[in-house]
A and B are shown apart, each in its own frame.
Chain A
């Protein structure tokens, strides 16, 4: 594909084949030049801004791990005061910054009803610090702080339902995608920005060292997450589930197809796989896939 992305350049330090960077490229294709980005601490910040270099072609700020949402609110307030209605404010954070440490500040931003697009790159663990479990880590995943062992199947928590949390804040636009479907990501970013108002897009971003997959597998695993029903391509406009992209890519594959590709689930016994299949069925039913 002949494509030059001027908002994020090649030459960053992310792992070759990183799922998050695939997703980021797709997000950037959905933005225009009148955008300011507030980025949380994490892989994306560390791998793209090693001083004195920067991979960003848009105005970009990183403050702390947990405050990207509030920093974005401040940027928007400054733009509002200047009467600038053209410039869009976009937050980028990982699942640790979103589900866990930044959770309260995201709620504050959403409460204020501000026209900010929040993007969560969901690697289902603290990838940057060495794959520790987060509120997003799915049931059965082995991480460095929820390791599998003789007496443990890995994470025993269910993944927190951040989409439901976003919907409870009455956001204009809430969507879910994966790095397996870059064009879906780009379309959703464009749609969120066109709707004007608070929006949330969560993107499953396969992490090679975290998920123990090969560096040519991020996109494939991202596709399987969708097809098994574990991570469907969802979209809610003004709280209503839309039909736009879900069904085309859902094939009702067994979750085993997804789990068996990844080292983080390799220890799971049939019982646990069955439980995860039930979670997928629940998704399928709930979203009428």
Chain B
């Protein structure tokens, strides 16, 4: 048996994602180019041109169309894929709501980027935060390997739960940088992810006609939305199970990496049981934070599943600390950071915590170790306003 070490390749994030999508064999891909998502869909188009993938690749004339095309294909029983960023995601928004409301297992990558105005093509999380309430499972990758693995998990979750899943990868920081990564082999994917064969009578097929997207009066609408909400909340159990199963099957133990105290697909926690301070974050900034933390008294909570929001798990961990600093690359203008607000909402039973909110890296501003050190220094105390760094 080959050791994991032998399978590592040095790949650009976009290439790693495209290679993984190729192995996941979607039947229909549709996308529209936008920086920094472009490399992913270019590579997939080349695979199609070279006969390396056996799928329909539909060139769309806008992100709105691309999302609608994968919606239609998914409703006709096909495994689908799309990718976008920033303005593209905003243009898709109406379809994004619709896909979740129709319970279609669409999987999409969002190469996270700021939103205009002012126009800026670099990374932050403003795009995904605009669609956080649409009913999608939102996963966040901290590095290339997580990005790759989360796409495999995404299809399993989507097709098992009839919920759409978006894998968020930081634009440029993940999409355009090189890291050593293991691409899940076809044999592993086959073992983990069954072929997608939805039941006759649940998708568009002349042999069993169904009406999809019907008109709901006040007598029925609320139940439909409540069911979606409840199913999304309940998906946390399945996310944990599927994450565990995938870890077992991939049998990958990265040498030399710090081992988290908690690692369940929803969150990862690194640090002592009763820390003085816990830093909380989403996405690639986790790496910088890990590199910066020197004290044994500081914990790090990495949120990998942002929707459904694992409030209970988060509250349990944070309650053991004295201080909490939420570091995020988005701001709910006129309020606080969205992650901060979510965490405050989950902490209703624990008011003794000093919790502060730190906004970093908007529009691609570098998040340096110096900034993280500054946050650590200032984090003992309660703040009622989000503090901007950098």
Decide: A81 and B60 in contact? CB cutoff 8 A. no
Decide: A75 and B55 in contact? CB cutoff 8 A. no
Which residues of B lie under 8 Å from residue A49 when comparing CB positions? 211, 213-215
Task: Mark B215-252 against chain A: 1 for CB-CB distance below 8 A, else 0.
Answer: 11100100000000000000000000000000000000
Task: Mark B293-337 against chain A: 1 for CB-CB distance below 8 A, else 0.
Answer: 000000000000000000000000000000000000000000000
For chain A, the count of residues having a C-beta within 8 Å of the partner chain is 43
Which residues of A lie under 8 Å from residue B71 when comparing CB positions? 63, 67, 71, 74
Which among B68, B210, B215 is the interface contact of A59 at CB below 8 angstroms? B210
Asked if A3 is an interface residue, CB under 8 A from chain B, the answer is no
Task: Mark B246-276 against chain A: 1 for CB-CB distance below 8 A, else 0.
Answer: 0000000000000000000000000000000
Decide: A78 and B72 in contact? CB cutoff 8 A. yes
Task: Mark B75-116 against chain A: 1 for CB-CB distance below 8 A, else 0.
Answer: 111101000000000000011001000100000000000000
Which among A62, A75, A108 is the interface contact of B213 at CB below 8 angstroms? A62
Asked if B371 is an interface residue, CB under 8 A from chain A, the answer is no
- Distance to closest chain A CB from B96 (angstroms): 11
Which residues of B lie under 8 Å from residue A35 when comparing CB positions? 206
Closest chain B residue to A37 by CB distance?
A: B204
Decide: B209 and A61 in contact? CB cutoff 8 A. no
A59 and B62 in contact, given A51-B220, A80-B56, A81-B27 (Cβ under 8 angstroms): no
Interface centre among B76, B206, B215 (most CB of A within 10 A): B76
Closest chain B residue to A86 by CB distance?
A: B206
Decide: A107 and B215 in contact? CB cutoff 8 A. no
Which among B68, B98, B214 is the interface contact of A51 at CB below 8 angstroms? B214
Asked if B352 is an interface residue, CB under 8 A from chain A, the answer is no
Decide: B72 and A75 in contact? CB cutoff 8 A. yes
Which residues of A lie under 8 Å from residue B210 when comparing CB positions? 59-60
Q: Which residues of A (26-70) have their CB < 8 Å from a CB of B? A: 33-36, 38-39, 45-46, 49-52, 54, 56-64, 66-67, 70
Decide: A74 and B94 in contact? CB cutoff 8 A. no
Asked if B150 is an interface residue, CB under 8 A from chain A, the answer is no
Which residues of B lie under 8 Å from residue A51 when comparing CB positions? 214-217, 220
Closest chain A residue to B62 by CB distance?
A: A104
Asked if A87 is an interface residue, CB under 8 A from chain B, the answer is yes
Decide: B65 and A70 in contact? CB cutoff 8 A. yes
Which residues of B lie under 8 Å from residue A75 when comparing CB positions? 72-73, 75-76, 204
Asked if B74 is an interface residue, CB under 8 A from chain A, the answer is yes
Decide: A87 and B214 in contact? CB cutoff 8 A. no
Which residues of A lie under 8 Å from residue B58 when comparing CB positions? 73-74, 77, 112
Which residues of A lie under 8 Å from residue B75 when comparing CB positions? 61, 63, 71, 74-75
Decide: B211 and A74 in contact? CB cutoff 8 A. no
- Distance to closest chain B CB from A271 (angstroms): 42
Decide: A78 and B211 in contact? CB cutoff 8 A. no
Decide: A67 and B209 in contact? CB cutoff 8 A. no
Q: In whole angstroms, how far apart are the Cα atoms of A71 and B59 in the complex?
A: 13
Asked if B205 is an interface residue, CB under 8 A from chain A, the answer is yes
Q: In whole angstroms, how far apart are the Cα atoms of A80 and B57 in the complex?
A: 11
Which residues of A lie under 8 Å from residue B78 when comparing CB positions? 77-78, 81-82
- Distance to closest chain A CB from B305 (angstroms): 27
Decide: A61 and B212 in contact? CB cutoff 8 A. yes
Interface centre among B75, B80, B204 (most CB of A within 10 A): B204
Q: Which residues of A (246-278) have their CB < 8 Å from a CB of B? A: none
Interface centre among B59, B62, B211 (most CB of A within 10 A): B211
Asked if A79 is an interface residue, CB under 8 A from chain B, the answer is yes
Q: Which residues of B (21-62) have their CB < 8 Å from a CB of A? A: 27-28, 30, 55-56, 58-62
Decide: B68 and A81 in contact? CB cutoff 8 A. no
Q: In whole angstroms, how far apart are the Cα atoms of A51 and B61 in the complex?
A: 33
Closest chain A residue to B205 by CB distance?
A: A59
Asked if B155 is an interface residue, CB under 8 A from chain A, the answer is no
Which residues of A lie under 8 Å from residue B102 when comparing CB positions? 63
Which residues of A lie under 8 Å from residue B204 when comparing CB positions? 36, 59-61, 75
A87 and B206 in contact, given A63-B98, A108-B65 (Cβ under 8 angstroms): yes
Q: In whole angstroms, how far apart are the Cα atoms of A28 and B75 in the complex?
A: 22
Decide: A108 and B61 in contact? CB cutoff 8 A. yes
Which residues of A lie under 8 Å from residue B206 when comparing CB positions? 33-36, 58-59, 87
Which residues of B lie under 8 Å from residue A67 when comparing CB positions? 64-65, 68, 71, 95
Task: Name A's B-contacting residues (CB within 8 A).
Answer: 33-36, 38-39, 45-46, 49-52, 54, 56-64, 66-67, 70-75, 77-82, 87, 104-105, 107-108, 111-112
If A62-B215, A74-B28, A78-B72 are given as contacts, then 13 extra A-B residue pairs at C-beta distance below 8 Å, sorted by A number, are A39-B213, A45-B215, A50-B217, A51-B216, A51-B217, A54-B211, A54-B214, A59-B204, A63-B95, A71-B72, A74-B76, A78-B73, A108-B65
A-B contact list, 30 entries, CB within 8 Å: A36-B206, A38-B72, A46-B215, A49-B213, A50-B217, A58-B206, A59-B208, A59-B210, A60-B211, A60-B212, A61-B204, A61-B211, A61-B213, A62-B214, A63-B98, A64-B68, A66-B64, A67-B65, A67-B95, A71-B75, A73-B69, A74-B28, A74-B76, A75-B72, A75-B75, A78-B27, A78-B72, A81-B56, A108-B60, A108-B61
- Please provide the 3 A-B residue pairs with the shortest distance between their CB atoms, ordered closest to farther: A74-B72, A70-B68, A108-B61
